[in-house]
A and B are shown apart, each in its own frame.
Chain A
Amino acid sequence: MVGLPASLAERLRELTYNERAVAYLQVDAEFILVGAGGHLDNYGLAAMRLGEPVIEQAFFLEGLLPLEETPFFVPSVEFDGGRAADLHFHLDDGIVWVVLFDVTAYRDATRRLQQKAYEMTLLQEKEAQLNRRLEAMNQELEAANDFLVMISTKLSHYLAPQIYKSIFSGQKDVTIHTERKELTIFFSDIKDFTATTEHLQPEEITLLLNEYFTEMSTIALKHGGTVDKFIGDALVIFFGDPETKGTVEDARACLNMATEMQRRLAELNVKWRRAGTEQPFRVRMGVNTGFCNVGNFGSVHRMDYTAIGAEVNLAARLQAIAEPGHIVISYETYALVRDVVAARALPEISVKGIGRMVVPYVVEGVLDEAGRKVEIFSEHMTGLDFYLDPRAVDATALERIRATLRKAIVALEGRGGGDYPTGVARPGGKSSPTKANDKAT
């Protein structure tokens, strides 16, 4: 306190001693308490006994004596009763002095701040941990989802897209359940498929059939048909479930699909012929409209989404009586599409399960907007691929087509009749209509 005015020095002494509750212990080299004083009661140390070992009376000194360095400092030690003191040690003439300063107020303030900071940190840690867990769960979910997507994508190839969509969007329950609905059913079959392909390798047949089905399914989808099943080389498609535009529109869509299939088949036959198949695919088609049972049939282990009923059988029967390359429809269907197709009635037939006589109609062409009949020509056999849909022909090509046809007729007349057996090329007969046409242009 040297250099301080007496009044200030006195005030400081008072502040330090009283406000900071200064207390002290004196310990000799034998660890005997030789002196004690100040505010010892503030720290619960009032009953210190001089002349006795200090460690037994003040166990907090354990390990600290003798002093390894002087001065030495232990901040904020809590005593019984909750008071906190800074411990200041120093050695003077063989005696260790332990001076206690009360820091309870400072300790409490520090604790409040520290408590807040730690609680905040704990919350942040907890949040980070939760986020990590969430992230891990999300990853697991994503992986599970990817797996499901992969499986369902694989599965989708076994189902009609509409059925797949209605199941996977949750609209349809996968339970054994059927409904009665008015459907337009389409049956098609390749004439003499086995005979047509008997000289081909199994791999070639597979390729050919897959291409055929892919092309036909694509057209079916385009027109909104549900591809029910493939039976060997036969194809079953229905309109009216799970999506319907109304009975009339469904029937029209089916007829449009059937004529587009015939058109596409003509193109495919040309392609396949070039690739080496001798016989063209000639397809019979049958279409009927009527009430069927549609839904899941089978057992709980294995179900099929399909349509059954006498009306379905009738479609199959109409297909069977169709000429190759032609479409035969029932009167019920014709009644719905008569404003868009031209058809001729065939002798009536009876079908098991159907009480009435059925009048089949063979489709001869489509009607243009003015209601005029547009005949479609379709003939495919060894030496001939012929398909003509006058509606589809570009106006600028009309003259070229007429010229080609005239030349073709001339060529055929020149050949006469019956000179060459079927399947044997005519000597020098390489000039196909296409080639003749090439020369003409």
Chain B
Amino acid sequence: MTATLQKKICMLGGFSVGKTSLVKRYVQSVFSETYLTTVGVKIDKKTVDLSDRIVNLILWDLAGEDDINSFRMTNMRGAAGYVLVADGTRPSTLDVALSLRQRVEAEYGPLPFVLLLNKSDLKEQWAIGDAEIAELRQNGRWVRLSSARTGEGVEDAFKDLAVRATS
């Protein structure tokens, strides 16, 4: 297309798992405690320096999946990878994330993705066991704990995805 490597990456997951907060933390290095639901999509750009190449990530922060807002599969069109986000304090959001992955794979085939178990700073309310996380990691899947509040795991996740989406 052009000399610049540019890749579309989608943020997928249930509502209120922290997709918008993760993008905000990654792109603007800020975090807000206020919850503001996303309608439609907010598209942001972040340039990643991978030392041998520079990649522009075009981040599609999509509205969360739930009963009243079913996921528009066409929003995934042209994506080079995706970030699955679940809320570690709400086990049901992990099911939502895994079901989204299945549906994306059925439509677009195997794409690079990372699975973030977000809100790792909320240790008191954490509800996903270590055994379950170990099982999620089977087949070399990239699964990390993350926190948009502290920044834990955020940079790594996007960088890893940038590497895999451009190699």
Q: Report if A and B associate in a common complex.
A: yes
| Chain A residues in the interface with B (C-beta under 8 A) | 31, 53, 55-56, 59-60, 62-64, 68, 72-78, 84, 107, 110-111, 114-115, 117-119, 121-122, 125, 129
Answer whether A125 and B90 are a contact pair too, CB < 8 Å, given A62-B78, A64-B77: yes
Q: Which of A59, A75, A115 contacts B72 (CB 8 A)?
A: A75
Q: Is B75 an interface residue (CB 8 A)?
A: yes
CA distance in complex: A75, B7 (Å): 21
**B contacts with A: majority SS:** loop
Q: Which residues on B sit within 8 Å (CB–CB) of A64? A: 77-78
Q: Is B68 an interface residue (CB 8 A)?
A: yes
Q: Find out whether the CB atom of A121 lies under 8 angstroms from the CB atom of B74.
A: no
Q: Which residues on A sit within 8 Å (CB–CB) of B63? A: 114
Q: CB-CB contacts of B114-143 with A at 8 A, as 1s and 0s?
A: 000000000000010000000000000000
Nearest A-chain residue to B127, judged by Cβ: A129
Answer whether A53 and B37 are a contact pair too, CB < 8 Å, given A60-B58, A62-B58: no
Q: Find out whether the CB atom of A117 lies under 8 angstroms from the CB atom of B6.
A: no
CA distance in complex: A107, B42 (Å): 12
Q: Is B45 an interface residue (CB 8 A)?
A: yes
Q: Which residues on B sit within 8 Å (CB–CB) of A111? A: 36-37, 39
Q: Which residues on A sit within 8 Å (CB–CB) of B92? A: 125
CA distance in complex: A429, B54 (Å): 122
* Nearest CB of chain B from residue A158's CB, rounded to whole Å: 43
9 pairs, CB–CB < 8 Å, chain A vs chain B? A31-B1, A56-B4, A62-B7, A62-B8, A62-B58, A63-B77, A73-B74, A74-B41, A117-B68
Q: CB-CB contacts of B89-122 with A at 8 A, as 1s and 0s?
A: 0101000000000000000000000000000000
CA distance in complex: A142, B78 (Å): 56
Q: Which residues on A sit within 8 Å (CB–CB) of B72? A: 75
Q: Which residues on B sit within 8 Å (CB–CB) of A62? A: 6-8, 56, 58, 78
Q: Which of B2, B68, B74 contacts A55 (CB 8 A)?
A: B2
Q: Which residues on B sit within 8 Å (CB–CB) of A125? A: 90, 92
* Nearest CB of chain B from residue A123's CB, rounded to whole Å: 11
Q: Which residues on B sit within 8 Å (CB–CB) of A78? A: 40-43
* Nearest CB of chain A from residue B86's CB, rounded to whole Å: 14
Answer whether A76 and B41 are a contact pair too, CB < 8 Å, given A62-B7, A62-B78, A63-B80: yes
Q: Find out whether the CB atom of B40 lies under 8 angstroms from the CB atom of A76.
A: yes
Answer whether A118 and B77 are a contact pair too, CB < 8 Å, given A76-B40, A78-B43, A125-B92: no
Q: Is B158 an interface residue (CB 8 A)?
A: no
Q: Which of A53, A60, A117 contacts B43 (CB 8 A)?
A: A60
Q: Find out whether the CB atom of B2 lies under 8 angstroms from the CB atom of A56.
A: yes
Q: Which residues on B sit within 8 Å (CB–CB) of A77? A: 40-43
Q: Find out whether the CB atom of B43 lies under 8 angstroms from the CB atom of A55.
A: no
Q: Is B79 an interface residue (CB 8 A)?
A: yes
Q: Find out whether the CB atom of A84 lies under 8 angstroms from the CB atom of B35.
A: no
Q: Find out whether the CB atom of B35 lies under 8 angstroms from the CB atom of A119.
A: yes
Total inter-chain residue pairs, C-beta < 8 Å? 80
Q: Is B16 an interface residue (CB 8 A)?
A: yes
Q: Find out whether the CB atom of A115 lies under 8 angstroms from the CB atom of B77.
A: no
Q: Find out whether the CB atom of B58 lies under 8 angstroms from the CB atom of A118.
A: no
Complex interface residues of chain B between 26 and 54 (CB less than 8 A to chain A) = 35-37, 39-43, 45
Q: Find out whether the CB atom of B7 lies under 8 angstroms from the CB atom of A76.
A: no
Q: Find out whether the CB atom of B1 lies under 8 angstroms from the CB atom of A55.
A: yes
Q: Find out whether the CB atom of A118 lies under 8 angstroms from the CB atom of B37.
A: yes
* Nearest CB of chain A from residue B68's CB, rounded to whole Å: 6
Nearest A-chain residue to B79, judged by Cβ: A63
CA distance in complex: A56, B2 (Å): 9
Q: Find out whether the CB atom of B16 lies under 8 angstroms from the CB atom of A122.
A: yes
From B7, B15, B40, B63, name the one whose CB has the most chain A CB atoms within 10 angstroms.
B40
Q: Which residues on A sit within 8 Å (CB–CB) of B41? A: 74, 76-78
Q: Which residues on A sit within 8 Å (CB–CB) of B58? A: 59-60, 62-63
Q: Find out whether the CB atom of A114 lies under 8 angstroms from the CB atom of B39.
A: yes
Answer whether A74 and B90 are a contact pair too, CB < 8 Å, given A55-B2, A63-B79: no
Answer whether A59 and B77 are a contact pair too, CB < 8 Å, given A78-B40, A107-B40, A121-B66: no
Nearest B-chain residue to A58, judged by Cβ: B43
Q: With A60-B43, A62-B6, A74-B74 given, can you name 12 additional A-B contacts, CB distance below 8 Å?
A: A55-B1, A63-B78, A63-B79, A63-B80, A64-B78, A68-B77, A77-B41, A78-B41, A78-B43, A110-B39, A114-B68, A129-B90
Q: Which residues on B sit within 8 Å (CB–CB) of A122? A: 16
CA distance in complex: A78, B24 (Å): 14
Q: Find out whether the CB atom of A114 lies under 8 angstroms from the CB atom of B43.
A: no
Nearest B-chain residue to A106, judged by Cβ: B39
* Nearest CB of chain B from residue A76's CB, rounded to whole Å: 3
CA distance in complex: A110, B38 (Å): 10
Q: Which residues on B sit within 8 Å (CB–CB) of A110? A: 39
CA distance in complex: A79, B165 (Å): 25
Q: Is B69 an interface residue (CB 8 A)?
A: yes
Nearest B-chain residue to A115, judged by Cβ: B37
CA distance in complex: A185, B164 (Å): 91
CA distance in complex: A190, B8 (Å): 98
Nearest B-chain residue to A78, judged by Cβ: B42
Q: Which residues on A sit within 8 Å (CB–CB) of B69? A: 114
Q: Which residues on B sit within 8 Å (CB–CB) of A84? A: 39-40
